Structure 1
Amino acid sequence: METRFLETFLSVVEHGSLPEAARRLGLTPAAVSQRMQALEGEIGTPLLARAGKQVRPTEAGLAILEPARRVTSEARALRLHALADQPAGELRLGAISTALTGLLPQALLNLRQRLPEVAVFVLPGSSTDLHAALGSGRIDVALLVRPPFNLPKSRMWAPARREPLIMLVPSALAGHDPLDLLGSEPFIRYDRGNWGGQLAQGWLDAHGIRPHEWLELDQLEAISVMVSRGLGISILPDWAPPWPEGVTAARLPLPGPPLVREIGVLWERGHPTTRLIQALIEAL
């Protein structure tokens, strides 16, 4: 059985679309369709079913989903072990959006200059999603917010950046007292489902503050634009630039001891790509 057919199947399931899977894999939709037909013919049953414009796995497709992930992961590990002494291979990297624009561009340039034969696949997502993707083997390493729980001994962590939490306010409110603003201005909350958003909520709880909340978002870039337009104030990390074009909001320090969001690299101890991960850490 061709492992590339299994990889194609996993990509189709992940993206819910043959054309999108084709785009991600650098293939034509016809080639993806042919691979799926060949895989279904070899297994002897349909693995995908159409649901409007999307596709979803059949019961048989769901049954082989996890085994397919294990097989493709093990096959890739074999290739990496065979290339252990060569500066080549593929690194599957997950990254949160602010790291994707603020930290990764220069790091990837440094990595490419040092190891030009290394191919990098980047999966964007939230820290919670990337943590899950790391656990399932979909990615080799994640650049994310440090998890708010103790890491198991099987995981390795390397810090990359510390970002203090600040209050972001419209420029007209620069110089005002942050505590006064929390009592008078509408509050745009950084999604509590994100680990960084939980830090902001922890600061509010520690100070016994219940702001006039009217909006909750999980995209820092979108929050900064809305604050800049005068729609409210927010508490969020002072992430690495670039920030969205045209944002003119003011950054105010929060009262009390600094509260920091730590960004770093998380991976499995002894992973076959450890040498490439170490090179990424050095590039960061």
Structure 2
Amino acid sequence: MDTQFLHTFVAVVDHGSMAAAARLLNITPAAVAQQIRTLEREIGAPLIARAGRTVNVTEAGSRILQRARDVLRDVADLSTVANDDATAGELRLGAGTNALTGMLPDILARMVEKFPRIKVFIKPGYSPELYRSVEGGELDAAIVLQAPFALPKTCDWELLREEPLVVLAPAAMAGRDPHELLASEPLIRYDRSQWGGRQADQYLRSAGITPRERFELNALNAIAVMVDRGLGVSLVPDWARPWPEGLHLVRLPLPRPFEPRRIGIVWSRSTIRIRLVTAFLHESRVAMAAHVDAP
């Protein structure tokens, strides 16, 4: 059995269509369909039920899905097992949206320079799902927000960066009282369904501020652009650069003490690639120590 066909099957299930899987795998939808048909003949059961442009996994497909993931993971581990060398093999990482642009590139630049034989797979996502992926063994490590719950004994977490809450306002509002801005100006709220947004909401409540809400979204770069365009102010963590270019903003510190947003690395103690994870942790510490935000 060709493991590439298993990879195609998992991609179709995860992305919900032949076309989406084809884009991911850089092959044609017809090739995806052919690989699925070949796999179904070898398995002896239909795995995908086609409904127009979308697909659903069959009962038989559901039964083998996790086993297929396990097989693909074991195949990816072969180079790590074969090479008694901390600089070889595949490292599977996760990162949130801001970490993908603000922290991870500096870390990976160091990793590529020092360990050119490491292959890195990166899964973007939100912190809660990335924690689950590390705990479940899908990922070796992830850059995530500090969890508001105790980690299982199979996982560890280490702090990399603290981001205090700041009031983001147009440059013309420099010098104004941050609480007065939050109470009087329209608020572009950081999404309360996310951990970082809940933290901002807790501050507003603790300070007794009832804002005039205008928008709510989970995209810090977009919030910065909206503030620059005069659509309101925002209460956000002072996240890592780069930010969108050409913005004229001020970041006003809060008058009341409050817990910062904490970002770090969670990793699995039981991963077969623990040596690669250890190297990633070391380079992350060095990169963050050398990192200086633009003013």
Report matched runs for 1:109-258 at 5 Å: 109-258=109-258
Q: Deviations over 1:102-140 (max 9, x none)?
A: 111121111011111111111111112322332343322
Taking a change above 3 Å as real, the CA distance of residues 57 and 208 of structure 1, as seen in their structure-2 partners, is same
What amino acid sits opposite 2:68 in the alignment? Answer: A
- Contact 1:165–1:237 (Cα < 8 Å) also in 2: yes
* Distance (whole Å) between structure 2 residues aligned to residue 25 and residue 276 of structure 1: 26
- Report runs of 4+ in structure 1 exceeding 6 Å deviation: none
Aligned-residue Cα RMSD (Å) equals: 2.0
* Distance (whole Å) between structure 1 residues aligned to residue 29 and residue 110 of structure 2: 34
For residue 250 of structure 1, give the secondary structure of its aligned residue in structure 2.
Answer: strand
Give ranges in structure 2 of 5+ residues lacking alignment.
285-295
What amino acid sits opposite 1:179 in the alignment? Answer: H
Partner residue in 2 for 1:105:
105
- Contact 1:22–1:32 (Cα < 8 Å) also in 2: yes
Partner residue in 1 for 2:83:
83
- Contact 1:69–1:137 (Cα < 8 Å) also in 2: no
Report matched runs for 1:58-77 at 5 Å: 58-77=58-77
Report the alpha carbon displacement of residue 27 of structure 1 after superposing the two structures with TM. 4.4
Larger displacement relative to structure 2 (236-245 or 5-14):
5-14
Report the alpha carbon displacement of residue 273 of structure 1 after superposing the two structures with TM. 1.6
What amino acid sits opposite 1:40 in the alignment? Answer: E
For residue 172 of structure 1, give the secondary structure of its aligned residue in structure 2.
Answer: helix
* Distance (whole Å) between structure 2 residues aligned to residue 99 and residue 190 of structure 1: 17
Give ranges in structure 1 of 5+ residues lacking alignment.
none
For residue 137 of structure 1, give the secondary structure of its aligned residue in structure 2.
Answer: coil
* Distance (whole Å) between structure 2 residues aligned to residue 2 and residue 137 of structure 1: 23
Partner residue in 2 for 1:9:
9
Normalising to structure 1: TM-score of the pair? 0.91
Taking a change above 3 Å as real, the CA distance of residues 140 and 12 of structure 1, as seen in their structure-2 partners, is farther
Q: Deviations over 1:128-165 (max 9, x none)?
A: 23223323433221111111112222111122211111
For residue 56 of structure 2, give the secondary structure of its aligned residue in structure 1.
Answer: strand
- Matched residue count: 284
For residue 7 of structure 1, give the secondary structure of its aligned residue in structure 2.
Answer: helix
